[in-house]
Structure formats: structure tokens, C-alpha cells
Amino acid sequence: MTNFNDARRTAPWVLAVLFLFGACATADQLESPAAGRSSSATGSDPERSPSPITGGESSVGSAGTDPGAVTDPGAVTDPGSGTDPGSVTDPGSGTDPGSGTDPGSGTDPGSGTDPGSGTDPGSGTDPGSVTDPGSGTDPGAVTDPGAVTDPGTSEPVPCTAADGTPLCDENAFCNTDASREGICVCEDGHEGDGRDCTSIDACASSLDDCAANAECTSTGPGTWSCACEEGHAGDGTACAPIDACEDGSATCDPVAACSSTGPGTYTCACPSGHAGDGFTCSPINACSTGVDDCHVNATCTSTGPGTWSCACNAGFTGDGTSCRPFNPCTDQPILCHEDASCTPLDATLYVCSCNEGFDGDGQTCEPAAPPCPEVIPTLTTLGGSIFSVDTCAAEEFEGAVTCGGTNSGGRRIVRFVAPSTDRFRFSTDMPGTDFDTVLALADTCDAAETFACNDDIGASAAFSGTYSALEADLVAGQEVFLVLTGFSDRCGTVELGIGRAGGSCGDGICDPVLSETVGTCPEDCLEGFACARAYSSAAGSLVFGGNTCGQFDYNIGSTCVSGTGGRLAFAFIAPFSATWVFETDDPTRGYDTALVGASSCAPGTVLTCNDDASGLGFGSRISMFIAEGEARLIVLTGFSDRCGNANINIRAQ
């Protein structure tokens, strides 16, 4: 709160009448000092707004001597004082005639005061006394009968009416500095003529020193306090705009952006990727709130507040916002030949097919063989000698024939359509055939190779063992192509017979129609192992075995033993590439055994031989590396002419 300084005031009228030895000091020889007053507001300054208080009008006479006055005969007048020596003091003046002036208190002869007089402090001044004419006071003047006089001094009471009522307002004081009658002056914080004073509202009168951006509050007459307006800071007399964003008073969320909008005001805004009113901001999970733009076949991954990434699901390709089914032919490197076409099977698999005019598996394609003949004989009936043709110099089939050498003498094609679902037998063992034939089957007339082939029928032939025969299981309406050719460069007339036959694994024909392979039917499809009495691709104990006495399945020739007691032959097809170990089982071995390994049933194909193996006593052991799918002939025999029961254990080393 701002206050004006209270004025110091010395208001009392001082009048001292001293009597010393009957001498009376005049009132105008006394001084009445008064201190100055400072006002906070625009109160009445006695120098600027004097308000003389007269009470009633006082008349001052001329400075003559009252002729009726009687001078105290005991009084001695200072000749230098200017007092009329003929003046007579009024005997009723109350001067003590017995008082004497202290002869030692002499006053400066030039001062006009009787040097021998002393002022009696207890004496009163006679209001009717005549003053020394040299003092300027009219000895005949009479005080205004309406004015209140001090009974002790016969002087008017300052700022008081004749009836004793104070003339000054209760919020004023009497200032006698400039007038004996006194001047009414309004107290600090008030304004008026002294007789009527009103409180000053410093705020309403714009007397305050508050800043433009502050609010003034009146706290009393002429006093006030200043308070900065909202949005400003300071002591009220000086107010500066508050930047809430800069001084940290803003209550925005730590991640929000604060923007000052004026003194003490601001706005808060959540950053991108956040939700809220700015005072509270929460990270947005774009994936869980559905804000993302990922495709329906993509997975959304939140990467931060309001950010995400999209990745197409398995089986789809794209940038995540757009996904389409993955095409293994176009969306990845493929192994198809440049002359092949890719066909997708699903999202990961595809098949390659050579384009028209090319032959191959799709990964390798070569120009196709010449097209099939325009006219191909078609057979749909069964019987012997139902078709005859000359093969010499004919080139109707360009694919590979898988048996019978070069077949360079000539090739003919015949189409056969199965009249029913059966096993059919095709044979050149007919009376009209006159050369060493080869008979093969193909799926198409322009096949790259045949899927079944026979050169010589052997001892079962009716006319010649160099003739050929095949069997195949066909369904009604199925079409196959018979390739008629000859061994090496042989050619001539071939006569063909077709009939039904009961086919199964073990009938000596490896029939692809029955899905016969070396693995499923080694008896028919494993060429060169016709002497084997059993086939196996399994490892374990007692895989092969039997009584060797008098059995001569294979001619071992000159090896580590003669084996004249007997020989049993078995074919083993390796299920995987490894070094395979074959041993005669010791507990079940009934004689001094020997083992021979050969590459086929053909004479002179022995690869290894063992009579007695270390640690096995009279038992035997051989080992050979065999690649997956390859076969070896295992022959169980004995030392010299020894024979009997024995078994073979097989394991991979």
C-alpha cells in the first residue's frame, strides 16, 4: 500500500506573557513556530489555499495613547523604546506596582524595552491597556466582541467561532503559521476549504502511480494499492506481460507445444502422433486404433506415437498398404528355361514347361524333334499278327529308345488305344518277324524318350530269343505309342501281336503303368540282377540268409574261395549313399562262411571277397561304398566245399 507522509504539525498558538518586576512583554514580541506538512494527495496547502479564520471581524485602532490612561508612577520608560513618555498606564492594567525590575537584566537600549523591567510569568495582560505607541498597536482598539478570547491572554482562540464551535472540518487542522486567527487546512488524503473536507479517492482521481496494466484499489483517504492485472507481473507500479510458455508457468503436457496468446494466456497442442487436449497427451497406437493404412492382408506394427509400418502377410506381396497374392513365377527368381513357361501352383510352388517347339523338363529345353507323322496306324483290337510293317530307313520317332543300342536301322510308330482296363502284352515274337527286334512304349509320338523298353525276350520266346515283348497296365481309352525298331542297326519286317496278360511285380516286366520302379519292384525293374533270389534296401540283422548247400545262384569265378559247397545271391539297393558293411551273423552261422560282393549277376563282376574276418572267427565281412539307389549283388558261400545255414547283417559305416 502506498501512503502519503503524514505532515508534522505544530498547531497550538503560543502566547506567553511574562511579568518581571512589573514589566510586561507585548504579544508581538513572542514567536509561534510551526513545522511544514506534506500531503500525499491534493489536500489544502496553506501556502496555496489559505483559509483565514476571523471568527468575527477584529478592528485594530490607531496607535494613539489613551488620554484617560494613568501611567504607573513607578514605571520607568526606556527613552529609546519609542514609547510616549506622557502616556499613562491604565491603573486597572493589573501591573504589580510593587514589582521591581531586575537592574542587572538590562536590555539592549536600542530594543525599546525597559532594561530594568522583568516580565512576571504569572501576570496577565490587561485587554484594556494602552500599548506603547511605538509598537504599532492602537491603544484604543477593541477586540471583536464575537471572537472567543483566551481568558488568560485576551487573544482570540484560533479557528474557533464565537460560540466556541470549531470552524475546521473534523478532517482538517488549524494552521497558525500565517495568521493568529488560524487557517483551516484539510488533512492529508482530503480536499476542500478546511471547513469542509472530503476524502480523496486516489484511484478515481488518477492520483495513483499504478502502471497501465495494474488495478488501483483505494485503501483509505488518499491512499491506495496497486496490483498487476492477470497476465502481468510486477509490483503494481511497473507491470510486464507474462509469457507463460517462457517462464514455465504453463501447464502443458511435457510433449505438447506451448503457444503464447497474450499476457499470461497460452494454448497447448499435442504433437503429431499424440491425442489429448494439450494439457494431457497420450501416444496414439495407430494399429490398435485403426488409424493405419495397412492392407487387409498385411500386418500393422506400431513404430512409435502415431507411426506404423505395414508388411504383407505370408503368401502375399506388396508394400503393405497394397498386397496381392504372391506369384512364384513373377515375384521371385525362377529356374525355368528361357524357352519355358512358368505356371504357379500356389503361393510358393510353380512348374516349368517348355514352350511349343521345345522339349525338356522346363528347366532345360531344346528344340523339339520333328512332329509326329501325319498318319499313324491306330490299333484298338487284340490278337496275334494283327499288324506288320517294314522298319528299314524309317524315322518316325526322334526320341531316345532306352534299350537296344543305337536303333539306327529304322523306327516305326503304332498307336494303341486300350479297349478296356487291363494288363496288355505287346510282342514281336510272331512268325512274320525276321530280325533282332527292339520294342518300346512312349506316352506320345514325339516323346523325348520311351518309358518302357525290351530288346530280347530270351528263352520264353516261341520263335526267337532275339524277339521282344512288353506288358503294361492300361485303363480303357488310354493311348500309348509302340516304337518298333531293331538292335543296333538291325531292321526288317516286324509282326506285332497284342493280348491280355496278368501283370504284377515279379512278372519280369517293369511296368510304369503299375508305378513299378527299382525301389518298388526291383524284381522287374532292377536290370542285371535276375540271379538274385531276394531284394532289400533295409539295414539290420538277418536281412538275407538261407541254406547254401547245393544252390548255385552266381558264378563267382576265381576269388578268395571256390565256394563249391553252394552259393546264394541277394540284391541290396542302397537307401542313401554310404559305405555299407555286410557280415555273417555269428550266433546263427552254422559253418565256415565266405562273402562275395559283385556289381551284377554277370560273370566277372566280382568287386570284393572275404573268408574269415577279424573278430568273427570263421565268420565273414565285406564293405563297399554304394551310392543312393544303386544296387550290389551279395553272394553267401563257404570256404572250399563248406555249406550250411547262415544269415547276413547289414549296416552303414
* pLDDT at position 653: 92
Q: What is the CA radius of gyration of the chain?
A: 76
pLDDT band at residue 149 under the 50/70/90 scheme: low
Q: Which of 8-22, 200-214, 532-546 has the lowest mean pLDDT?
A: 8-22
Q: Do residues 317 and 323 make contact, with C-beta atoms less than 8 angstroms apart?
A: yes
Per DSSP, 247 falls in state H
Q: Judging by DSSP bridges, how do beta strands 437-442 and 479-486 pair with one another? A: antiparallel
Which regions of 279-368 does DSSP assign to beta strands (E)? 281-283, 298-304, 307-312, 316-318, 323-325, 340-344, 350-354, 358-360, 365-367
Dihedral angle of Cα 60, 64, 67, 73, to the nearest 10 degrees: 110
Residue 513 or residue 178, greater confidence = 178
Check pLDDT > 60 for residue 88: no
What fold, for 244-283?
Laminin (2.10.25)
Q: Is the pLDDT of residue 482 over 90?
A: yes
Read off the pLDDT band of 510 (50, 70, 90). low
> Above 50 in pLDDT, residue 434?
yes
Residue 230, C-beta contacts closer than 8 angstroms, at least 6 positions apart: 263, 264
- For residues 62 and 601, the model is more confident at 601
Which residue carries 563267382 as its cell? 556
Given pLDDT bands bounded at 50, 70 and 90, which one contains residue 442?
very high
Ranges of beta strands (E only) in 468-605 are 469-474, 479-486, 493-500, 535-536, 540-547, 568-573, 578-584, 593-598
Residue 509: per-residue pLDDT: 60
pLDDT at 513: 43
Lowest mean per-residue pLDDT among 10-24, 366-380, 512-526, 626-640:
10-24
Task: Give domain 378-514's CATH architecture.
Answer: Sandwich (2.60)
Least Cα distance to 129 among 54, 59, 80, 68 occurs for 68
Extract the C-alpha cell encoding 246: 517462457
pLDDT tops 80 at residue 440: yes
pLDDT single digits (tens) 218-256: 998 989 999 999 889 999 999 999 998 988 889 999 999
**Topology match between the domains 378-514 and 526-652:** yes
The grid cell for 553 is: 545262384
From first CA to last CA, the distance across the chain in angstroms is 110
pLDDT digits (tens, 9 = 90+) for 565-581: 999 999 999 999 999 99
Q: Is the pLDDT of residue 95 over 90?
A: no
pLDDT of residue 506: 72
> How far from the centroid of its chain's Cα atoms is residue 35's Cα?
80
If you ran DSSP here, which 8-state letter would residue 13 be given?
P
Q: Residue 285 has what pLDDT?
A: 92
Q: Is it the case that residue 538 has pLDDT exceeding 60?
A: yes
| Residue reference for cell 516349368 | 352
Helix (H) or strand (E) holding 232, with range, is strand 232-234
CA distance 420 to 493: 29
* pLDDT of 262 higher than 60: yes
Beta carbons within 8 Å of 466's beta carbon, 6+ residues apart: 436, 437, 456, 457, 487
Query: Of 140-149, 245-254, 613-622, which range is least confident?
Result: 140-149
Query: What is the average pLDDT score of the chain?
Result: 78
Among 49-53, 162-166, 271-275, 441-445, whose mean pLDDT is lowest? 49-53
263, three cell numbers: 499476457
Q: In this predicted structure, which of 102-106, 348-352, 482-486, 591-595 has the lowest mean pLDDT?
A: 102-106
- Where residue 562 falls among pLDDT bands split at 50, 70, 90? very high
Between 75-79, 436-440, 496-500, 626-630, the lowest mean confidence (pLDDT) is in 75-79
Q: What ranges do the domains of the chain cover?
A: 1-200, 244-283, 378-514, 526-652
Alpha carbon of 58 to those of 141, 167, 179, 432: distances in Å? 9, 17, 13, 188
Q: What is the pLDDT of residue 566?
A: 96
585 with 646: CB under 8 angstroms?
A: yes
Query: What stretches of 116-170 show up as alpha helix (H) in DSSP?
Result: none
**Residue of higher predicted confidence among 455 and 154:** 455
Domain 526-652: assigned CATH number: 2.60.120.380
For the segment 37-64, the average pLDDT, to the nearest whole number, is: 35
pLDDT of residue 151: 59
pLDDT given for residue 202 in this prediction: 87
Report pLDDT for 94: 37
Q: Which residues pair with 170 in a beta bridge?
A: none
* Continuous segment of H or E residues that includes residue 634: strand 631-638
Decide: 49 and 193 in contact? Cβ < 8 Å: yes
- Average pLDDT of 18-32? 32
Record the pTM: 0.31
pLDDT band per the 50, 70, 90 thresholds, residue 503 = low
Q: What percent of the chain has pLDDT over 70?
A: 74
Give the separation between CA 59 and CA 62, rounded to whole angstroms.
Answer: 10
Q: Give residue 370's pLDDT band: very low, low, confident or very high (50, 70, 90).
A: low
Residue 556's Cβ-count burial label (10 Å; 0-12, 13-18, 19+) is buried
Cα–Cα distance for residue pair 646/639, rounded to 1 Å: 13
C-alpha–C-alpha distance, residues 189 and 211, integer Å: 21
The pLDDT confidence band at residue 332, using thresholds 50, 70 and 90, is confident
Residue that the C-alpha cell 488409424 belongs to: 291
Helix (H) or strand (E) segment spanning residue 417: strand 412-417
Tell me the three cell numbers of residue 462: 516261341
183 sits in the region (left: phi over 0; alpha: psi -120 to 50; else beta) called beta
Nine-digit cell string for 385 = 499278327
| pLDDT value of position 141 | 32
pLDDT-based confidence at 502, cuts 50/70/90?
A: low
Residue 256's pLDDT is 92
* Three-class secondary structure of residue 153 per DSSP: coil
Our measurement of the distance from residue 593's CA atom to the centroid of its chain's CA atoms, rounded to an integer in Å, reads 79
Model confidence over 66-79: pLDDT tens digits? 333 333 433 333 33
Residue 468's identity, in one-letter code, is: S
* Per-residue confidence (pLDDT) for residue 569, from 0 to 100: 96
3-state secondary structure (DSSP) of residue 262: strand
487 near 439, Cβ under 8 Å? no
Quick check: helix, strand or coil at residue 539?
coil
